[in-house]
Amino acid sequence: MKYKILKTTSFLAFVIQVGTAFAQPIDGYWQQHVDYNMEVQIDVETYRYEGTQKLVYTNNSPDALSRVYFHLYFNAFQPGSEMDMRLQSITDPDSRMINADRTSRIASLSDTEIGFLHCESLTQDGQKVSFQEEGTVLVVDLAKAIGPGEKSTFDMDFKGQVPLQIRRSGRNSAEGVALSMSQWYPKLAEYDREGWHANPYIAREFHGVWGDFDVKLTLDKNFTVGGSGYLQNPQEIGHGYEAPGTRVKKAKGKTLTWHFKAPKVHDFMWAADPDYVHDTLQVVNGPMLHFLYKNNEKIVDNWKKLQPKTAELMQFFNSNIGAYPYDQYSVIQGGDGGMEYAMSTLITGNRKFGSLVGVTAHEMAHSWFQHILATNEAKHEWMDEGFTTFISSLAMNQVMNQGKPNPFEDTYNGYYNLVASGQEQPQTTHSDRYASNFAYGISAYNKGSVFLSQLGYIIGQNELMETLRQYYRDFKFKHPVPNDIKRTAEKVSGMELDWYLTDWTQTTNTIDYGIKNVTTSDGKTKITLERIGLMPMPIDVLVVYKDGTQETFYAPLQMMRGEKENPYPQLERTVLPDWPWAFSEYVFEIDTPMENVEGILIDPSQLMADVNAQNNFYPTQTP
Ligand SMILES: [Zn+2]
């Protein structure tokens, strides 16, 4: 016998509702500000580059700073680096970073293949400062402390070498892209409400200082460049950036200087290749999309078909999270999978069409959950990877007409696998400190996505989608932390949700509710539910009668101090008394004898991540 399970297609019914609330100011919030001015010469033969950086740093913190730190990410791609050592010791190394015999690809790089980034000279407001390179971090003792509200200007000369492509950035990727230039410049570490975040580059990254970038790149004029900023001199450059139908002044000499500006971003990526095709597509009421991909007949068709889908994805995210605030977004072939950057993404391009759209959906969703809502990825990885996974699952279901009744099914199954493996660590774990890449990946992507889809089960789908929009309005261009999404959900729903944030993200407590027994007496059916797992939850119960009718019962969790709306308005719902968590059993009655009951089911939506679904059915059956 199979129960009719109520489907969760209702998600799509809740999308595209325009909120009317305004952004709320956050008491006491501050963040640092940077203005980068860089001029860089790149030798495409030796993959060496050198540049100057003028960095105006504004200290908006209440603290005087006597030190600052810069990330020198390319130093990770050297034998003996922390990234190399971690690669050699982790039980499940990233397959892209190891050779066929499982040895580290970084360990086998020669001197001309390694990456490096070195500071050659540095002054603060014209005064020399002392600095020391510690792997991927430059430690700078300031000549003079920067007081609260003060600015300092740093002038740096730097030299770099682009590593053979190992992870994310690098030269000569497997698909033949010459230059994937992410994490390529000396990048000031962020100092925020939690203090300094001078994380060494071990596996993961991304927490940057908001600011404005002005970047001039000089390189071989045959290369087409794409990336984070708006090109300021398109009529000198051409390469598909010139105004349609206009002619470009042919530059003398072997190089071109590309001048980009990227306002209000916390990172700057670029990529370049002599064989890029460059297409553009204007999104209605949205940004100009740029597509740069290799002129390779095997992929060109898919990259053409990707373009209108990218516009649809952009509109989906605009409607469901909030308007994309920049005038440009670039999808660029490069890197080694997919990675999000400011106003752009690097993705591998040699993929089946569905995978190409899927990776674009995911990386573009990161424009919201990382590049506009800039959570610290090292500390709160579930907030950007998980939320991105959540919204891109919904977007793909719509844009690719997947027709999945539950677009999150695979996401939940991944989480259940992690729990069953015994390898789960709390989501508060630093993203470099998980015991395995497997545990990191599921915790960040799957469990992070379930945080939201399950929140919809708790507060209601309308309230969930409104929570996302309000979160965007309140925290865009800021560094939100876990409490911020929780408080937003509390304000939108009127419920108390501290228990949800703490148990789900700070522990490995699991959810297991069950139907303990069903008895009958005096013409009534008595249902006893039990809480087996430590994590609290409100409970929806569906009862199916032999005459084909159905109704639901709702036991709110007492500590959430509220009730969601009926998620199944087509069915009658009975709101039962609150269930206080410490009571492991809970009894309620149905006003009909047991012989009329076909079956009983806990959480027909399957959005509550119950690790043992076996006991959610009466009579017992395999779900
Ligand atoms: Zn991601």
How many angstroms is it from 340 CA to the middle of ligand 1? Answer: 7
How many angstroms is it from 524 CA to the middle of ligand 1? Answer: 51
How many angstroms is it from 381 CA to the middle of ligand 1? Answer: 9
pLDDT in tens, 260-311: 999 999 999 999 999 999 999 999 999 999 999 999 999 999 999 999 999 9
Are 487 and 480 in contact, with CB atoms under 8 Å apart? Answer: no
Backbone φ and ψ of 104, nearest 5°? -70, 130
How many angstroms is it from 329 CA to the middle of ligand 1? Answer: 17
pLDDT in tens, 579-614: 999 999 999 999 999 999 999 999 999 999 999 999
Residues in CB range of 417: below 8 A, 6 or more apart: 442
How many angstroms is it from 387 CA to the middle of ligand 1? Answer: 9
How many angstroms is it from 167 CA to the middle of ligand 1? Answer: 14
Quote the pLDDT of residue 16: 41
How many angstroms is it from 356 CA to the middle of ligand 1? Answer: 14
Quote the pLDDT of residue 1: 38
How many angstroms is it from 384 CA to the middle of ligand 1? Answer: 7
Per-residue pLDDT band at 4 (split at 50, 70, 90): very low
| Mean pLDDT of the 143-172 span | 97
Quote the pLDDT of residue 25: 64
Evaluate if residue 147 carries a pLDDT over 90. yes
pLDDT in tens, 463-514: 999 999 999 999 999 999 999 999 999 999 999 999 999 999 999 999 999 9
How many angstroms is it from 359 CA to the middle of ligand 1? Answer: 9
Evaluate if residue 346 carries a pLDDT over 50. yes
Torsion angle of C-alpha atoms 179, 182, 188, 193, degrees rounded to 10: 180
How many angstroms is it from 339 CA to the middle of ligand 1? Answer: 7
How many angstroms is it from 604 CA to the middle of ligand 1? Answer: 30
CA distances to 98, 124, 130, 133, 251 from 154, in Å:
38, 5, 12, 17, 32
How many angstroms is it from 338 CA to the middle of ligand 1? Answer: 8
How many angstroms is it from 362 CA to the middle of ligand 1? Answer: 6
How many angstroms is it from 397 CA to the middle of ligand 1? Answer: 18
How many angstroms is it from 232 CA to the middle of ligand 1? Answer: 30
How many angstroms is it from 464 CA to the middle of ligand 1? Answer: 21
| Mean pLDDT of the 443-460 span | 98
How many angstroms is it from 568 CA to the middle of ligand 1? Answer: 33
How many angstroms is it from 511 CA to the middle of ligand 1? Answer: 26
Evaluate if residue 15 carries a pLDDT over 90. no
CA atoms within 13 A of residue 464's CA, in its CB half-sphere? 26
Distance linking the first and last C-alpha atoms of the chain: 10
Evaluate if residue 12 carries a pLDDT over 70. no
Are 77 and 71 in contact, with CB atoms under 8 Å apart? Answer: no
pLDDT in tens, 366-401: 999 999 999 999 999 999 999 999 999 999 999 999
Quote the pLDDT of residue 24: 65
Quote the pLDDT of residue 2: 40
Quote the pLDDT of residue 315: 97
Are 319 and 370 in contact, with CB atoms under 8 Å apart? Answer: no
How many angstroms is it from 20 CA to the middle of ligand 1? Answer: 29
How many angstroms is it from 346 CA to the middle of ligand 1? Answer: 12
Quote the pLDDT of residue 623: 44
Tell whether the torsion through CA atoms of 102, 104, 105 and 109 is positive or negative. Answer: negative
Evaluate if residue 170 carries a pLDDT over 90. yes
| Mean pLDDT of the 72-87 span | 98
How far is Cα 40 from Cα 215, in angstroms, rounded to an integer? 8
How many angstroms is it from 363 CA to the middle of ligand 1? Answer: 6
Quote the pLDDT of residue 589: 97
| Mean pLDDT of the 526-542 span | 98
Quote the pLDDT of residue 393: 98
Per-residue pLDDT band at 250 (split at 50, 70, 90): confident
Quote the pLDDT of residue 5: 42
Quote the pLDDT of residue 384: 96
How many angstroms is it from 177 CA to the middle of ligand 1? Answer: 21
How many angstroms is it from 423 CA to the middle of ligand 1? Answer: 21
How many angstroms is it from 454 CA to the middle of ligand 1? Answer: 20
Quote the pLDDT of residue 193: 92
Question: Residue holding tokens 């971690």?
Answer: 86
Evaluate if residue 453 carries a pLDDT over 50. yes
CA distances to 116, 489, 572 from 183, in Å:
11, 34, 55
How many angstroms is it from 322 CA to the middle of ligand 1? Answer: 19
Cα 447 off chain centre by: 13
| Mean pLDDT of the 198-214 span | 94
How many angstroms is it from 109 CA to the middle of ligand 1? Answer: 27
Quote the pLDDT of residue 18: 38
How many angstroms is it from 623 CA to the middle of ligand 1? Answer: 31
How many angstroms is it from 413 CA to the middle of ligand 1? Answer: 19
Quote the pLDDT of residue 19: 39
How many angstroms is it from 240 CA to the middle of ligand 1? Answer: 29
Per-residue pLDDT band at 621 (split at 50, 70, 90): low
Phi-psi region of 125 (alpha: psi -120 to 50; beta: other; left: phi over 0): left
How many angstroms is it from 598 CA to the middle of ligand 1? Answer: 44
How many angstroms is it from 446 CA to the middle of ligand 1? Answer: 11
How many angstroms is it from 441 CA to the middle of ligand 1? Answer: 10
| This prediction's pTM | 0.95
Evaluate if residue 146 carries a pLDDT over 50. yes
If one compares 126 and 15, the residue with the highest pLDDT of the two is 126
How far is Cα 409 from Cα 404, in angstroms, rounded to an integer? 9
How many angstroms is it from 361 CA to the middle of ligand 1? Answer: 10
Evaluate if residue 622 carries a pLDDT over 60. no
Q: In this structure, are strands 288-294 and 230-231 parallel, antiparallel, or unpaired?
A: unpaired
How many angstroms is it from 369 CA to the middle of ligand 1? Answer: 9
How many angstroms is it from 125 CA to the middle of ligand 1? Answer: 38
Evaluate if residue 55 carries a pLDDT over 60. yes
For the chain, give the percent of residues with pLDDT over 90. 93
Evaluate if residue 11 carries a pLDDT over 80. no
For the chain, give the percent of residues with pLDDT over 70. 96
Q: Rounded mean pLDDT of the chain? A: 95
How many angstroms is it from 49 CA to the middle of ligand 1? Answer: 29
pLDDT in tens, 405-431: 999 999 999 999 999 999 999 999 999
How many angstroms is it from 366 CA to the middle of ligand 1? Answer: 7
